[in-house]
Chains A and B, each alone.
Chain A
């Protein structure tokens, strides 16, 4: 199967920002993909309700890597409430679309971010 990724996906995959882990993260979102068995971990640092730092580790395909990378870019500098509005649909749109069989990969990014925020909030209580 030849893959037809948009140029924006390829660019994001190539430049790959924010990959790696944050050792002293305030929140970690660990999500797995039941469809193809991929794994994504999202790390956040939070200060005054604002995400100051966000990184990802992904074991997955080009789409999974590109969407996690873009997802982290989108939430840095945002309030937690704003970050929760980053949906997979928005990520796909910004990437100029994804092949249909790759849509599930972008869901990982949305879920990962949400879980990381939940993790942070649960620790604040």
Chain B
């Protein structure tokens, strides 16, 4: 160890902000009381949760009572989808989502299909955009919920959430968005968006792992799956993760301030853009995946044709670069990225996809390092790719 790390995998997780860690520490130590205690010693822990709820609410322009703290984005997604599905069976059993959702949504929907619910998976265009017209067509009388992600984790594409939410509302269904990849990258205002539910994950915006929240609009009833005490306004039983909640609250406050720091937001975008430009200039036969404009500013997904992503990642890892790939070989399931396939990217091109994702801790050095080594890596791997060599021959 001790080798320098060039961390460009911030859509996987982010570095915990030191101020977040500091905000958490007292609740691992002296302030260990159960916030439900009636004695004054419990007041510190209780106040930490109240403050965090305020911070989270103000980050989303919500009411503090509309925030439910969870263990992460996955739990928030499960809570929203199953919670609405089971609370509204009298109305119907139809759910609409998209083909490019995170597995926390897709697999929850698949589970519900086995339980007798019906799910429509909306297609996307080549940029990964869901067409509100398609949604309109898919909505039915018995549709109870529409869940469309705000920004995609792999390609960064941003959906037109307010329009999708409006179309949904007109049809009388609830609207949920998984905004895990949008938090800290773009301002989120639940009122302006006109949505009913929104999921966040703490560790994706410099908060602690194992923390998340669900924004649940006042008046929206969900079925609860965690039976126990009266925590989180009866919506999620279990003694609160006080340090974690203090941490995600602080992360919300820091993210809000950072979003207002135009210079740094621009700096991050410029880093991403310069890497994109560099790769397109220095490496032939590369395509950028995702929408060129409607895309979170920190994400770059490129396919280097005729080579495979894992081999590229490992070569970059030798140099200390952390990135990720949608290649079948890295997926464990040996299926290429469902997101890229939904965008109409062919298997081979999906194979050669790599994702670089930036954060406020990224610097020009990271970009320079990638540009220093990636062209050589791709050349080396292409020199032994049968497809690449055939292609060259046929020119």
A residues apposed to B, CB below 8 Å: 1, 3, 5, 10, 13-14, 16, 19-21, 30, 35-41, 56-65, 101, 104-105
19 contacts between A and B (CB under 8 A): A3-B314, A10-B314, A13-B314, A36-B334, A37-B336, A37-B347, A37-B351, A38-B351, A40-B386, A57-B386, A59-B348, A59-B385, A59-B386, A59-B387, A60-B308, A61-B327, A61-B330, A64-B329, A65-B384
B382 nearest in chain A by CB position: A59
Q: Does B331 contact A (CB under 8 A)?
A: yes
CA distance A63 to B310 in the complex (A): 10
Q: Are A65 and B329 in contact (CB under 8 A)?
A: no
Q: Are A37 and B348 in contact (CB under 8 A)?
A: yes
Q: Are B384 and A38 in contact (CB under 8 A)?
A: no
CA distance A35 to B311 in the complex (A): 17
| Cross-chain contact of A39 among B314, B328, B386 (Cβ < 8 A) | B386
CA distance A110 to B331 in the complex (A): 24
Given the complex, which residues of A lie within 8 Å of B314, measured CB to CB? 3, 5, 10, 13, 62
Which residues of B193-215 have CB atoms within 8 Å of chain A's CB atoms?
A: none
CA distance A59 to B330 in the complex (A): 14
CA distance A57 to B307 in the complex (A): 11
Q: Does B107 contact A (CB under 8 A)?
A: no
Q: Are B311 and A57 in contact (CB under 8 A)?
A: no
Q: Are B331 and A57 in contact (CB under 8 A)?
A: no
Given the complex, which residues of B lie within 8 Å of A37, measured CB to CB? 328, 336, 347-348, 351
Given the complex, which residues of B lie within 8 Å of A13, measured CB to CB? 311, 314
Q: Does B306 contact A (CB under 8 A)?
A: yes
The minimal Cβ–Cβ distance linking B118 to chain A, given in whole angstroms, is: 31
How many A-B Cβ pairs are below 8 Å? 76
Given the complex, which residues of A lie within 8 Å of B347, measured CB to CB? 37
A41 nearest in chain B by CB position: B386
Q: Does B389 contact A (CB under 8 A)?
A: yes
Q: Does B332 contact A (CB under 8 A)?
A: yes
Q: Are B384 and A60 in contact (CB under 8 A)?
A: no
A58 nearest in chain B by CB position: B384
* Chain B positions 316 through 335: 1 when the CB is less than 8 Å from some CB of chain A, otherwise 0: 00100000000111111011
Which residues of B332-358 have CB atoms within 8 Å of chain A's CB atoms?
A: 332, 334-336, 347-348, 351
CA distance A30 to B389 in the complex (A): 14
Q: Are B308 and A59 in contact (CB under 8 A)?
A: yes
Q: Are B384 and A20 in contact (CB under 8 A)?
A: yes
Given the complex, which residues of A lie within 8 Å of B328, measured CB to CB? 36-37
- A19 and B310 in contact, given A37-B328, A57-B389 (Cβ under 8 angstroms): no
Q: Are A1 and B384 in contact (CB under 8 A)?
A: no
Given the complex, which residues of B lie within 8 Å of A1, measured CB to CB? 330-332
- A56 and B384 in contact, given A36-B334, A61-B308, A62-B310 (Cβ under 8 angstroms): yes
Given the complex, which residues of B lie within 8 Å of A56, measured CB to CB? 384
Q: Are B318 and A39 in contact (CB under 8 A)?
A: no
Q: Does B383 contact A (CB under 8 A)?
A: yes
Question: Which residue, of A16, A19, A37, A41, has the highest number of chain B Cβ atoms within 10 A?
Answer: A37
